[in-house]
Amino acid sequence: MARTSSGSARPKRGSSRPRTPLGFVGRFAAFVGASILAGALVAGIALPFVGGFGLTAKAASENFDDLPSDLDQPFLSQPSYILDSEGNQLAMVYDRYRILVNFDQISPIMRQAIVAIEDSRYYEHGPIDLKGTLRALLRNQQSGGAGSKQGGSSLTQQYVKNIFVEEAGNDPAKVAKAQAQEVSRKIKELKYAIGLEQRLSKDEILNRYLNITFFGRQAYGIEAASQRYFSKHAKDLTLPEAALLAGVVQAPSAYDPIGYPNAARERRNIVLQRMVEVKVISQADADAAKATELGLKTQPLPNGCITADQIDGAAFFCDYVERVVKNDPAFGANRDERDRLWREGGLRITTTLDRKAQKAAYTAATKGVLQKDPVADAVVMVEPGTGRIKAMAQSRPYGFGDYETTLNYSVDHNMGGSTYGFQTGSTFKPITAAAALESGMKVDQEYSTDAQIDMRKEKFRTCDKPTAPDSSFKVNNESSSEVGTWNMQTALEKSINTYFVLLSKDVGLCPIATLADQLGVHSGDGKALQQVGSMTLGSNTIAPMNMAAAYAAFASRGVYCAPIAVAEVAKLDGTKLAVPQAGCKQVMKQSTADTINALLKGVVEDGTGAMAGLKDRDNAGKTGTTDHRKAAWFVGYTPNLSTAVWIGGAKNDVEMVDITIAGVPYDKVYGGQVPGPIWKSAMNGALKGADAPGFVDPPGGTIPPKPDPNRKGDDGTTKPRDQNRPPGNGNTRPPWTPPWTQPSTPPSSDGGGGTSKPPPDTTRPPGHSRPPTGDPLGGGGWGGF
């Protein structure tokens, strides 16, 4: 027996099985039944009797004339191209690799080869070739079922079947049904074939057939096959190449020229000889072509977002774009519609990604934290005033190997991110400060505090009711020396936790949570923030992209724009689809944003973010370090770019104490220490050569002078708040009483700048520090530095 290149045996053409009387009767019955079917198809009569010959026909009782004859050409699945903001390709994604070509873009010899081997009388007969059908039936019966069966369908009928298969998509059950050897399907094929041949020319049908048929190895259509196997256009195919591809069609897996070159060569030579028989080529031409090697010049067909990782780590952004198309109602009323749009492809998706910004973000991310470090990082950039996502990078590459990941640390869980996002630490404090300003407070609002606050007697007003006091947690400043009098400016610069606990208690959690929601800040699982006492210290878990977009609203003077990754989507015919909009809106007074900008400039000038400050352009930002140093942040911005940087364990399970990151040992990691320089490097690269606009000065041109930190309040511990200021956002405020009592235990620094270490919390989900619902402090204190 002949063997394939892999050693598997193939039956020789013409080999036969032992003949038995029973086998002969069965073959005769099948032949007679098939002959009746062929005649019935031609006659167009009803077929209620075919079941007597064992031919299944669910619709056998339907009258042929009652079947529809019009068959719309389906939209053939093709690649979609994901482009950057300048139109350069980031990735090609497809369900089926196909490139449509016109009739004159296919070499004549290719057209002749496929006709010769699949339907040599194509230009002579109508929709069905009765002579060819009966000949194939007879030969198949004579072979006893052994060897290759000959098909009796015309090219037009094959084209109709391919339409059914195309419409079935990747559903195995639908594909099987589209290919089932049933009388009802054959009848429909014929009726549709008749209709097609009444409306289209033979050349038009052949062109459609060559664009839809499968050639193996993910190649659908002749142009894709030419590119896949020979790295050339279909119009340039030679005789032996055309014969090879024409032979593949009958059984793409069995005659795969890459996997089974010997079988493919044998099949190619059969095609060449058939071309001689039908007088398309001479015997000399055939012999010369048979003597050639296969001549394969294969090229891989890159597919999917993983290929975009070669472009400065843009795979995560590409993956996010795919999820936008599949999740956003702009692309379809339901998931099925959106999935179908993506599967059919043929889209040119122009995104918001800026190559220069992406390169800067990727370089900073991969140099600031190495791939095999115990922690990872994420860098995401958003343009103020537009919401355009300019870059998205992280230290661990896109993939499935060691120290690789397909999780996008920058985004929400439903868009490919981690389950909950990450606790933000003190990067949340500017939102509290903005809510305070919106409620009528002033920058000179002062509190005199010790380095620790005992929370056991405190309640915080939420949108529904006051929270219950906590029985175990205490909030610390980073250092026991951080005591004294603070206003909003100095408290932000030094990231004083105790100040912001008092401020949030005075403002109320509802206005803070409401403003956060207007700034697009929510939990990484899509839920609203938990209104707990530690909310202002960053206890909620939030995706970096949402923090970058929120800070972008400060940069754009209070205008919040939802992050967008897609600028334009066009079909190959030029039709443009609606895309998600940023929905920009004013969510706070311009004066509030201007004041926050001035306050956060102080953070990068001589505060906790001094290591991140940029030269020669206005910039502002805030550091953040979480409880037990399980995450560290820097979120900052200029008037034209906002960037969030996060580092930590991907499962929030690494305490960044006595740790080496990018070859540098650290006793303790601070937000301004590792994320800050990453932010600075990314921003410098992204903004190189860009305009350097300035922030608008706050009302009055300056912010109030800093208070004397050594000054104490009237009671020796705190300075009473201004009783004449208006209540914020309509909250009913109970009478204020001095709440703070010195704790009986000395202040402690737990390495996160937050609280005295509580007992282990067994209620938290594994691998996360997400506070359990109802815990007023969210399960711990959060570093504010």
Higher pLDDT, 66 or 506: 506
Q: Are the CB atoms for 367 and 679 separated by under 8 Å?
A: no
CA–CA separation, 431 and 522 (whole Å):
12
pLDDT at residue 721 is higher than 90? no
Q: Reduced to 3 states, what is the DSSP secondary structure of residue 632?
A: strand
Q: Are the CB atoms for 228 and 299 separated by under 8 Å?
A: yes
CA–CA separation, 644 and 635 (whole Å):
4
State the average pLDDT over residues 643-652: 94
Q: What confidence tens digit (pLDDT) does each residue in 270-284 have?
A: 999 999 999 999 999
CA distances from 164 to 25, 72, 516 (A): 34, 11, 51
pLDDT at residue 176 is higher than 90? no
Tell the residue number behind the tokens 């410098």, with chain if given: 684
448 conformational bin, left if phi > 0, alpha if psi -120 to 50, beta if neither: beta
CA–CA separation, 517 and 431 (whole Å):
10
Q: Which of 191-200, 223-232, 666-675 is predicted least confidently?
A: 191-200
Backbone CA torsion sign across 157, 162, 167, 173: positive
* Closest of 188, 265, 252, 263 to residue 220, by C-alpha: 252
CB-side exposure of 600: number of CA atoms within 13 Å? Answer: 34
* Token reading at 725: 């200021």
CA–CA separation, 371 and 406 (whole Å):
14
The fraction of the chain above a pLDDT of 90, given in percent, is 61
* Token reading at 523: 């939990």
Helices (H), 519-613: 544-555, 590-606
* Closest of 782, 742, 685 to residue 454, by C-alpha: 742
- Would you state the torsion angle of the CA atoms of residues 719, 720, 724, 730, taken in this order, to the nearest 10 degrees? 110
Task: Find all residues with CB under 8 Å of 67, minimum gap 6, and list them.
Answer: 187, 188, 191
CA–CA separation, 381 and 384 (whole Å):
10
Q: Which of 167-176, 475-484, 775-784 is predicted least confidently?
A: 775-784
Q: Which of 7-16, 406-415, 672-681 is predicted least confidently?
A: 7-16
Which residues face 659 on adjacent strands? 666
Residue type, 233: H
Q: Note the pLDDT of residue 319.
A: 96
> pTM here?
0.79
CA–CA separation, 731 and 505 (whole Å):
12
The fraction of the chain above a pLDDT of 70, given in percent, is 76
Bridge-based pairing state of the strands 631-638 and 620-625 = antiparallel
pLDDT at residue 241 is higher than 70? yes
pLDDT at residue 238 is higher than 60? yes
For helices 108-118 and 202-212, angle between their N-to-C axes, nearest 10 degrees: 90
* Closest of 318, 324, 329, 481 to residue 392, by C-alpha: 318
Give phi and psi for 646, each to the nearest 5. -125, 140
Give phi and psi for 422, each to the nearest 5. -135, 145
CA–CA separation, 617 and 623 (whole Å):
19
Q: What confidence tens digit (pLDDT) does each residue in 438-473 have?
A: 999 999 999 999 998 887 767 788 998 776 555 457
CA–CA separation, 395 and 398 (whole Å):
10
* Token reading at 100: 């449509």
Bridge-based pairing state of the strands 219-220 and 97-98 = parallel
Which residues face 393 on adjacent strands? 379
* Closest of 408, 401, 229, 383 to residue 318, by C-alpha: 408
Q: Reduced to 3 states, what is the DSSP secondary structure of residue 659?
A: strand
Bridge-based pairing state of the strands 376-382 and 89-93 = unpaired
Q: Note the pLDDT of residue 465.
A: 76
Q: Note the pLDDT of residue 383.
A: 98
Q: What is the DSSP letter of 380?
A: E
Task: Find all residues with CB under 8 Å of 291, minimum gap 6, and list them.
Answer: none
CA–CA separation, 692 and 685 (whole Å):
13
**What is the secondary structure of 100-156 as a DSSP string?**
---GGGS-HHHHHHHHHHH-TTTTTS-SS-HHHHHHHHHHHHHTTT-SPPPP---HH
CA–CA separation, 454 and 136 (whole Å):
91
Q: Note the pLDDT of residue 17.
A: 40
Q: Which of 364-368, 551-555, 721-725, 773-777 is predicted least confidently?
A: 773-777
Q: Note the pLDDT of residue 453.
A: 87
CB-side exposure of 697: number of CA atoms within 13 Å? Answer: 6
Helices (H), 200-334: 202-212, 222-230, 239-248, 261-277, 283-290, 315-327
Which residues face 485 on adjacent strands? 448
Q: Are the CB atoms for 317 and 83 separated by under 8 Å?
A: no
State the average pLDDT over residues 697-720: 64
Give phi and psi for 93, each to the nearest 5. -125, 140
Residue type, 482: E
Q: Note the pLDDT of residue 143.
A: 54
Give Rg (Cα) of the chain: 35
CA distances from 309 to 315, 342, 349, 359, 404 (A): 4, 20, 17, 12, 12
* Token reading at 742: 């010195």
Bridge-based pairing state of the strands 376-382 and 347-351 = unpaired
CA–CA separation, 368 and 630 (whole Å):
17
Terminal C-alpha separation, the chain: 78
Higher pLDDT, 45 or 122: 122
Q: Note the pLDDT of residue 731.
A: 33
CA distances from 754 to 150, 499, 624, 743, 745 (A): 78, 13, 11, 15, 15
